[in-house]
Amino acid sequence: MERVAEAKIGFARLLRNPFARNLTVILIFLFVLAAGLIAFYSHYSAEKLKREWMDHEAAVLGRLAEEHPEQAAEWLGYVAESDSISQETIEAGRRLMERYGMTSALETRWFPVIGDFVVHTRWYLLLGVCVLFLIAGWLLYRETHGYLRKIRSLAVALEDVVKHNQPMPYRLYDEGELGLLANGTQELALRLQETIEQLHREKTFLKQTVADISHQLKTPLASLTIYVDLLQGDRLDPAHSAEFLERCRHELDRMEWLTLTLLKLARLEADALEMNIDKADLNETVRNAVSSVRKLADAKRIDIRIEQPQASLVVDHDPRWLEEAIVNLLKNAIEHSPNDGTVAVSLEQTPVFTRLRIIDRGSGIDARHVPHIFKKFYRSSKEGSGVGLGLPLAKSIVEKHGGVLSVAANPSGGTIFHMTLPLHPFPADPANLTKL
């Protein structure tokens, strides 16, 4: 959209407006029409005046010819050669006319030819002005009506956006100041609608987050209440008391992990988390993630194999957050792998992206669960102790890096997670993040 630098409008800029151009065309048309009517009426009046003057002269000559037929030819010569009459002759004739009261002060009505000409001229001029006024009024109404109709359409569309949160039904493309106003109004409407939708998403997200937290904390809180009630009694021996205290500690740790994970997800989805994405060695990030889950893998005697084709693989990422995403993927792979199994981690780099694969030989994921496994609190099976937050958190972190996290079935059994990171990531738009 063209930016309005100043409020001043010059003549050239004024003519860029269709309304101003059409108004100019109307004025030119009216001027040409008026000039044509004036020329036509001048010619018509001159011809009419000539005929009436000749009739008057003919009447005078006819009367003189009746009384003095011998001088008729001579008088006709005087009329035909009126341009050659001297000023003295004119003055002599004027003095003669003054004797009978025929002077320039005499009213026009005593001169029938001139009187008729004046009366007809007045009526024709009035009629011409009325015709021009009607034509000008109709043209101006037609042009102004179309102009105001566009402004009215913009006003109605903007009112629908503001009051009813409805999108603008169409876009108005026009030139000049109205086009600037239309574009500005439409941009304002789009931004307003996006803001309203963003507020609605944030409100829905807040309600969902609060509901998720309350739902997930309800069970451990109930367990803690029971354990505390039992510990307050006097019938427990020290061994059972120690067991219940250990269970309380376990539930508290679970609540702490659950709360922190939900807060991380909330900050990621609300775009309230600033990542320090910079060039770093992805191999080292993967090794740190594997070290974090080594104890969990050893408990099931699972071998984690890392395939790193390059000694150093520099990729733009936040090592701390991407490590957490990889840890969650590894925990999921270990949890669904059988004892004495294997989890493979491989890296691949192309001129466009870097891909990390995590492959397990577990029971795999049913095809009907694949579209939902990245949703919060979704569990594809009752096996395992997870609550369904690790994969959504990993996906949000990867998308914040401008990457993609996907899952596919392993042809030889198990599951393959693909983490694809661009070599030159773009900032992720929160509105485009996957709804978890």
Sequence-distant (≥ 6) Cβ neighbours of residue 426 within 8 angstroms? 402
Structure tokens at 434: 């996957």
- CA torsion, ordered 79, 81, 82, 84, to nearest 10 deg: -160
Would you say 354 and 423 are in contact if contact means Cβ atoms under 8 Å apart?
yes
Q: List residues bridging with 414 in a β-sheet.
A: none
Would you say 282 and 315 are in contact if contact means Cβ atoms under 8 Å apart?
yes
Q: How far, in Å, CA of 107 to CA of 114, rounded? A: 10
Q: How many CA atoms lie within 13 A of 78 on its CB side?
A: 13
Summarised one tens digit per residue, pLDDT across range 198-208 is: 888 878 877 87
- Dihedral of CA 26/28/29/30: which sign? positive
Percentage with pLDDT > 70 across the chain: 79
- Report the range of poorest mean pLDDT among 264-273, 366-375, 427-436: 427-436
Q: Is the pTM of this model over 0.85?
A: no
Would you say 265 and 391 are in contact if contact means Cβ atoms under 8 Å apart?
no
Would you list the domain boundaries of the chain?
Answer: 18-164, 196-269, 278-432
**What CATH number belongs to 196-269?**
1.10.287.130
What's the average model confidence in pLDDT over 269-279?
Answer: 75
Burial class (CB in 10 A: 0-12, 13-18, 19+), 114: middle
What is the DSSP code string of 170-219?
A: S----SHHHHHHHHHHHHHHHHHHHHHHHHHHHHHHHHHHHHHHHHHHHH
Topology (CATH level 3) of domain 278-432: Heat Shock Protein 90 (3.30.565)
Q: List residues bridging with 304 in a β-sheet.
A: 343
pLDDT exceeds cutoff 60 at 428 = no
Q: How many CB atoms lie within 10 A of CB 33?
A: 15
Phi, psi (rounded to 5 degrees) for 340: 65, 25
Summarised one tens digit per residue, pLDDT across range 71-126 is: 667 666 666 666 666 777 777 777 777 776 776 666 666 667 677 777 778 888 88
Summarised one tens digit per residue, pLDDT across range 333-356 is: 888 888 888 999 999 888 888 999
Sequence-distant (≥ 6) Cβ neighbours of residue 211 within 8 angstroms? none
3-state percent breakdown (helix, strand, coil) of the chain, nearest 5: 65, 10, 25
Residue with tokens 């891909």: 355
In the prediction, which pLDDT does 1 show?
46
Computed over every residue of the chain, the mean pLDDT equals 77
In the prediction, which pLDDT does 352 show?
86
In the prediction, which pLDDT does 386 show?
58
Sequence-distant (≥ 6) Cβ neighbours of residue 147 within 8 angstroms? 19, 178
Structure tokens at 369: 């669960």
